[in-house]
Amino acid sequence: MNKKKNTTQGIVLLEAIVAISVLALIFTSSLQLFRSSIVGVRGATDTFVASELAQDVAEFLIAKRMENISHIGNSHWKDGLTCGTGDCSIDTLATSVTGANMITCAGVDACLLYVNSDKEYTYNSTGSVTQSPYTRKIQTELTDSNKQLKITTTVSWDSGSHTERYVLTTFLYAP
């Protein structure tokens, strides 16, 4: 009498273990892909905000140049647009470009930006503000016999493992 062993139970168990392993591998890979996507989106968001902060300075200084020309005269086109050597800032939230001038960044938190209650970026650290991860530094250089102003705006932030930078260079010309 030969009895046949029932081996189908062992095969079903083995198939279940393999299927669970494959599903676990797919799930783990999906989580890694999702995590990488989140990191990529965060990096893109930071870069977008930095580009907007730099562009804000460029547009403000272009408006200030135009204001200088129309109210003061062509020979004063660069008044309030230069800051000498070192890093400077300018309050782009000023109600008028006329009174806004470059100021030198000084201190430990030089050129650090804060977010006010209206979700606007400002250098003003008083009142209802929170510290942002961004610093915005402006450097100016007169070139071409004082007929051209080179403005370099650098926005930087800590991305965790290193410091990221976004640099925008704008040229303004004498009329």
How far apart CA 16 and CA 85 sit, in angstroms, is 71
Answer yes or no: are the C-beta atoms of 140 and 154 closer than 8 Å.
no
Tell me if residue 4 falls in helix, strand or coil. Answer: coil
70: in domain: yes
Enclosing domain of residue 65: 8-173
Strand partners, 156: 135, 165
106: in domain: yes
1: in domain: no
Tens-of-pLDDT digits for all 175 residues of the chain? Answer: 566 665 555 677 788 888 899 999 888 888 888 887 777 778 889 999 999 999 999 999 999 898 888 887 777 888 888 887 788 888 888 767 877 788 888 766 778 999 998 999 988 888 889 999 999 999 999 888 888 999 999 999 998 888 999 999 999 998 8
pTM of the model: 0.76
136: in domain: yes
Into how many domains does the chain fold?
Answer: 1
130: in domain: yes
Buried residues in 99-132 as b, exposed as e (16+ CB within 10 A):
ebbbeebeeeeebbbbbeeeeebbbeeeeebeeb
